[in-house]
Structure 1
Amino acid sequence: MRYLSTRGHADRKRFCEILLEGLAPDGGLYLPESYPQIDDATLTRLRKVYHEQGYADLAFEILSLYIDDIPAADLRALCAKTYTAEVFGTGEIVPLRHLEDGVWIEALSNGPTLAFKDMAMQLLGNLFEYELGRRGEELNILGATSGDTGSAAEYAMRGKKGVRVFMTSPHGRMSPFQQAQMFSLMDANIYNIAVKGVFDDCQDMVKAVSNDLDFKRKYKIGTVNSINWARLLAQVVYYFAGYIQATTKNAEQVSFAVPSGNFGNVCAGHVARMMGLPIAKLVVATNENDVLDEFFRTGVYRVRGTADTHETSSPSMDISKASNFERFVFDLLGRDGARTKALFADALNQGGQFDLSKDPAFADAATRYGFISGKSTHANRLDTIRDTWARHGMMIDTHTADGLKVALEQRSADVPMVVLETALPIKFAQTVQEALGREPDRPAKFEGIEALPKRVLVMDADVAAVKALIARECGY
């Protein structure tokens, strides 16, 4: 298996090369040269593996289709080390919870930081440590988070040999619980940077550093955001697990509703569908920052500036520049790297938007790729949280509420709809309290976390300052 850049860079690389690299040298994102195809016999075998051996073995089966430069025995051991009941709180790892006729919630938030990001990040931490150990090298991870990526990355990388984490986040725009999870970590290899701005400013800084190839090589800069293919690949697995749990035979279709800001989570569903998993619809659910919903309705992709990026009660989706969206557009345009580069490197920089509404490829995007979309507001979130609690006795977080609201609008009577859970309600307690008049349950290990001492550096959205910090802390 070889990987190529969405912007046409000539080199073809193997998995472990792009694992440590992040962005391609031309600023593009990596994708496999082709998607491995799942036929009926393979899906039958995967179904048996999941039911008889469990999630870790299913993960190995999926990952091994894309990874041929890690020995099979080592890859299997890494999956077994990652997906355990001790780490994820249940041997099922990602159980489906029935909500009502034809609607399920896939529980993805049983990991160490109570968010779906743990599903991929725990594996990524073990992959990094394994590959760096083989090479005798170090890696400096520079990341951006709007909420859950940062804590998931830091909990996955804390104490890992050869790894430092420099995590940027928008100053004052995460929930108190999310901030406390990150900023209370005192591990020597963890650096928290609160940026005066919004998530897109953080993401732009990460890309700017990654695009400085001399700095990137000297300081061995890597990424854990979903621009890293390894993280997105790990997320593909739970689409297979959700499908297998929701069906009894291979011919059945399932739809997935995915709360989405940066397009990474739902892009993993796109990959699963391209592999042949029988997914009817991929429902993209946004909050008031509806750049993705606007595209799937109109064909116009319009990035908003800092002033037009709303601060909402589902803050992990307060994003107006979806970095993973480039992967889907690359496929949509027939894998035309030059045209993809023209859109994302030129059109967005010049005008902040591009328009594919007249392109024949966009005309059949919903039919060919299954994407539909919708949006949810603060009032919608409150209503959905209240309704789900009143009718089903199930408490959900604000992002999952966005997904469920749009899912209920887009469901079909004959196709199961699986809503991907984003996080546990405690991470967004203030809004849940507003909706229900009571605090969500809090796991014992997080009691009093907001009162713990914090270690965080506040700085402007200054690329040079971030580079100087990395250089100083690395000492070379």
Structure 2
Amino acid sequence: MKYISTRGGMEAAPYSAVLLEGLATDGGLVVPESLPQLSAAQVEGWRSLSYPELATEILGLFATDIPRDELAELCRAAYAPDRFVSERIVPLVPLAGEQGPGEIALVGLSEGPTLAFKDMAMQFLGQALEYVLAKSDRTLNIIGATSGDTGSAAEYALRGKDGIAVFMLSPQGRMSAFQRAQMYSLTDGNIHNIAIAGVFDDCQNLVKKLSGDLEYKREHNLGTVNSINLGRISAQIVYYFWAWLRQTDAVPAAERAGYEVSFTIPSGNFGNILSGHFARSMGLPIRRLVLAANENNVLDEFFRTGIYAPRSAAATFATSSPSMDISKASNLERFVFELLGRDPQRLSAAWDELERTGQIDLRAELPRFETEFGFQSGTSTHADRLATIRSVFETSEIIIDPHTADGVKVAREFVEPGVPMLVLETAKPAKFPEVVFDATGQQIGMPEHLAGLLDLPQRVTDMPDDEQQLRSFIAERAV
């Protein structure tokens, strides 16, 4: 399989090459030339596989330039039992009292080392990047932006890796104390934390500016592990198939083919739900992909109106689900590329319109959002989060984090009779103890293996929103 750019200006490249690039060479996003198509029999044949084995099968459809036995070893290392709390890696947890007209269950994606769903893709990406760099005798300087969980997941996956340095940008004062401690307490020499004066979108814009400067990018071997990296998107596809297989384990074999489930996905940068869109396009029987936004609900507005209008940094709210405090979703470009018939000229014209007017008008395509692609969306507020965390705790004795609460709140609005609704869990509630206490009155203790985390000394460089200062910082420390 080869990969092309949404902007049409990049020569088709293999998986290993696009892992190292992040952004396409023409400033667009990398997408497969075409998605693999799977039959019901093929998917059914994966039912007995472990998570690493399933990852090997699905990623093998994308990473066709990596020998299968070596890919299998990368997946075994990424999803080794000692890296995850649950033996199943990704457990499904039904919510009591949520059956109503259709069952709601949580897809447990936060069992990894940093207690967030980003571990699911980042653990694989860490293994794959080190493998590709060793094969090509290259080094890589990762530049990334995080609104909360991407940073720690990337740093824990890449700490101490040969030939890799990480420069992770985060917004000053916009993450929880737990999230800051996870990142800033790392002392590995190849990890560099940079706190930018601004919001996540400012961090993301800096990453895009440096990644879009091909001369600087090549001189300093820049890459990215944000969700604009195709490796992240492909690895996330795995857990959609895993969740469908586990949800249908109890369904009679004769009824499994075409058995539809829906997913609700808390979304900020659109990468996680995009992976679900790819899984659906590959043939997985997904009825609905429900996007759950917080108060920064630009994406909800887009899927309801057909108008995409990102907000300024000043208009981006600081909320109690901070990892979704994003107003400009990088991965939306990949979906719009599909929406516009995979036409690079139409895509480029749409982004020129965005640059010129501050919005993209796709109202003519709005009917297709749901009928063809299965998308629906909703918004959750702080009051909704507290009420949802409280109600789930009272009915199921399960405590969920505020981002997952956004998902459950919106999922309840779109449950259909006879169609299971699977909510993608975002993080462990221990990362947000203040919100959990406000909602339930419960004091959440730190997981045993992270005891003392908040007391560790922290190492971070504060920096203004200054592109030149960031360039100099990276140039001085690049490997």
Q: Same fold (TM over 0.5)?
A: yes
Q: Does 1:329 align with 2:336?
A: yes
Give the alignment of 1:9-408 within 5 angstroms. Answer: 9-47=9-47, 51=48, 53-99=49-95, 100-101=98-99, 102-247=103-248, 248=251, 249-344=256-351, 346-357=352-363, 359=364, 361-408=365-412
Q: Distance in 2 between matches of 1:200 and 1:162?
A: 28
C-alpha displacement of 1:39: 0.7
2:333 counterpart SS class = helix
2:111 counterpart SS class = coil
| Contact 2:10/2:25, CA 8 A, preserved across alignment | no
| Contact 2:305/2:366, CA 8 A, preserved across alignment | no
C-alpha displacement of 1:413: 1.1
| One-letter identity of the residue aligned with 1:430 | E
| Contact 2:337/2:343, CA 8 A, preserved across alignment | yes
Structure 1 pair 10/123, CA: closer, same or farther in 2 (3 Å)? closer
| One-letter identity of the residue aligned with 2:356 | Q
Partner residue in 1 for 2:439: 435
1:194 counterpart SS class = strand
2:62 counterpart SS class = coil
1:385-413, Cα deviation, whole Å (9 max, x unpaired): 00000011000000000000000111101
1:301-335, Cα deviation, whole Å (9 max, x unpaired): 00100111000000000000000011011001110
2:143 counterpart SS class = strand
Q: Distance in 1 between matches of 2:71 and 2:283?
A: 23
| One-letter identity of the residue aligned with 2:40 | D
| Contact 1:84/1:91, CA 8 A, preserved across alignment | no
| One-letter identity of the residue aligned with 1:45 | G
1:178-200, Cα deviation, whole Å (9 max, x unpaired): 00000000100000000000000
C-alpha displacement of 1:445: 2.1
Partner residue in 2 for 1:424: 428
| One-letter identity of the residue aligned with 1:65 | L
1:231-265, Cα deviation, whole Å (9 max, x unpaired): 11000000000111111312210100000000000
Q: Distance in 1 between matches of 2:442 and 2:367?
A: 46
Q: Distance in 1 between matches of 2:61 and 2:135?
A: 22
C-alpha displacement of 1:441: 3.5
Q: Distance in 1 between matches of 2:475 and 2:258?
A: 54
C-alpha displacement of 1:347: 1.8
C-alpha displacement of 1:137: 1.1
Q: Distance in 2 between matches of 1:441 and 1:326?
A: 40
1:308 counterpart SS class = coil
| Contact 1:19/1:230, CA 8 A, preserved across alignment | yes
| One-letter identity of the residue aligned with 1:41 | A
Q: Distance in 2 between matches of 1:402 and 1:90?
A: 24
Give the alignment of 1:465-476 within 5 angstroms. Answer: 465-474=469-478
Q: Can you give the 5+ residue segments of structure 2 that lack an aligned partner in the other structure?
A: none
Q: Distance in 2 between matches of 1:440 and 1:409?
A: 29
2:70 counterpart SS class = helix
Q: Distance in 1 between matches of 2:472 and 2:403?
A: 35
| One-letter identity of the residue aligned with 1:171 | Q
Provide the TM-score with structure 1 as the length reference.
0.97
1:197 counterpart SS class = coil
Q: Distance in 2 between matches of 1:10 and 1:118?
A: 30
Give the length in aligned residue pairs. Answer: 468
Q: Find runs of 4+ consecutive structure 1 residues off by over 3 angstroms.
A: none
C-alpha displacement of 1:337: 0.9
1:263-293, Cα deviation, whole Å (9 max, x unpaired): 0000000000010100000000000000000
1:81-119, Cα deviation, whole Å (9 max, x unpaired): 111221012220101001132111000000000000000
C-alpha displacement of 1:10: 4.3
| Contact 1:332/1:362, CA 8 A, preserved across alignment | no
1:153-206, Cα deviation, whole Å (9 max, x unpaired): 000000100000000000010000000000000100000000000000000000
C-alpha displacement of 1:341: 1.5
| One-letter identity of the residue aligned with 2:224 | T
Partner residue in 1 for 2:452: 448
Q: Can you give the 5+ residue segments of structure 1 that lack an aligned partner in the other structure?
A: none
Partner residue in 1 for 2:461: 457
C-alpha displacement of 1:132: 0.6
| Contact 1:254/1:417, CA 8 A, preserved across alignment | yes
| One-letter identity of the residue aligned with 1:74 | E
| Contact 1:285/1:376, CA 8 A, preserved across alignment | yes
Provide the TM-score with structure 2 as the length reference.
0.96
Q: Distance in 2 between matches of 1:79 and 1:351?
A: 44
C-alpha displacement of 1:448: 2.4
1:20 counterpart SS class = helix
How well do the aligned residues superpose, as a CA RMSD in angstroms? Answer: 0.9
| Contact 2:10/2:24, CA 8 A, preserved across alignment | no
Q: Distance in 1 between matches of 2:410 and 2:69?
A: 42
C-alpha displacement of 1:19: 0.5
Q: Distance in 1 between matches of 2:175 and 2:368?
A: 37
| Contact 1:43/1:250, CA 8 A, preserved across alignment | no
1:364-383, Cα deviation, whole Å (9 max, x unpaired): 22110000000000000000
2:471 counterpart SS class = helix
| Contact 1:116/1:423, CA 8 A, preserved across alignment | yes
| One-letter identity of the residue aligned with 1:458 | D
Q: Distance in 2 between matches of 1:145 and 1:396?
A: 21
Q: Distance in 2 between matches of 1:403 and 1:375?
A: 9
| Contact 1:109/1:424, CA 8 A, preserved across alignment | yes
| Contact 2:378/2:410, CA 8 A, preserved across alignment | yes
Q: Distance in 1 between matches of 2:471 and 2:332?
A: 27
| One-letter identity of the residue aligned with 2:126 | G
